Amino acid sequence: MDIFVQQIINGLVLGSIYALVALGYTMVYGIMGLINFAHGEVVMIGAMVALFFVKAFSGLPVVILLPLALAAAACVCMAIGFTIERIAYRPLRRAPKLAPLITAIGISIILQHLAMLIWGRNYHAFPPVIPSSAHEIFGATITSLQVFIVLIAAAMMAGLTLLIQRTRLGRAMRATSQNPAIAQLMGVNINQVISATFVIGSALAAVAGLMVTANYSIAHYYMGFMLGLKAFTAAVLGGIGNLAGAMLGGILLGIIESLGAGYIGDLTGGFLGSHYQDIFAFFVLIGVLIFRPSGLIGERVAERA
Partner 1 sequence: MNTLRVSRMTLALSAALALFGCGQKEEPKAAAPAPAPAAAAPAAPAATAITVKIGHVAPLTGPQAHLGKDNENAARMAIDELNAKGLEIGGAKVTLELVPEDDQADPKQGTIVAQKLVDAKVNGVVGHLNSGTTIPASKIYFDAGIPQISGSATNPKYTQQGFATAFRVMANDVQQGKVLGEYAAKQLAGKSVAIIDDRTAYGQGLADEFEKGAKGAGAAVVTREFTNDKATDFAAILTKIKSTKADVIFYGGMDAQAGPMAKQMKSLGVKAAFLTGDGGCTPEFIKLAGDASEGQYCSLPGVPLDQMPGGKAFNDAFSAKYGQIQLYAPYVYDAVMVMVDAMKRAGSVEAAKYLPEIGKTDYQGVTAKIQFDEKGDLKGGAISLYQVKGGKWEYRETVGGGAPAAPVAAEAPKADGEKKS
Provide the binding-site residues for partner 1, judged by CB under 8 A.
1-3, 6-7, 10, 13-14, 120-123, 125, 128, 132, 134, 136, 141, 143, 145-146, 216-218, 220, 223, 257-258, 261-262, 265, 273-275, 277
What's the min distance (Å) between Cβ of 272 and partner 1?
10
| Identity of the residue, 7 or 36, whose beta carbon is nearer to partner 1 in the bound complex | 7
CA–CA–CA angle 134, 74, 78 (5° rounding): 150
| Identity of the residue, 116 or 158, whose beta carbon is nearer to partner 1 in the bound complex | 116
Question: Alpha helices, DSSP H only, in the chain?
Answer: 2-32, 39-56, 62-84, 98-119, 144-166, 168-178, 180-185, 190-216, 223-238, 243-267, 279-291
| Identity of the residue, 121 or 166, whose beta carbon is nearer to partner 1 in the bound complex | 121
How distant, in Å, are the alpha carbons of 73, 159, 295 from that of 42?
Answer: 10, 21, 25
Tell the burial category of 193 from Cβ atoms under 10 Å away from its Cβ (0-12, 13-18, 19+): buried
CA distance 73 to 177: 28
What's the min distance (Å) between Cβ of 12 and partner 1?
11
Query: CB count, 10 Å around CB of 119?
Result: 18
What's the min distance (Å) between Cβ of 259 and partner 1?
8
What's the min distance (Å) between Cβ of 126 and partner 1?
9
Q: Give DSSP secondary structure letters for 68-119.
A: HHHHHHHHHHHHHHHHHIIIIIGGGTTS-THHHHHHHHHHHHHHHHHHHHHH
What's the min distance (Å) between Cβ of 252 and partner 1?
16
Give how far the C-alpha of residue 129 lies from the chain's centroid of Cα atoms, to the nearest Å: 24
| Identity of the residue, 118 or 134, whose beta carbon is nearer to partner 1 in the bound complex | 134
| Identity of the residue, 14 or 78, whose beta carbon is nearer to partner 1 in the bound complex | 14
| Identity of the residue, 266 or 303, whose beta carbon is nearer to partner 1 in the bound complex | 266
What's the min distance (Å) between Cβ of 26 and partner 1?
23
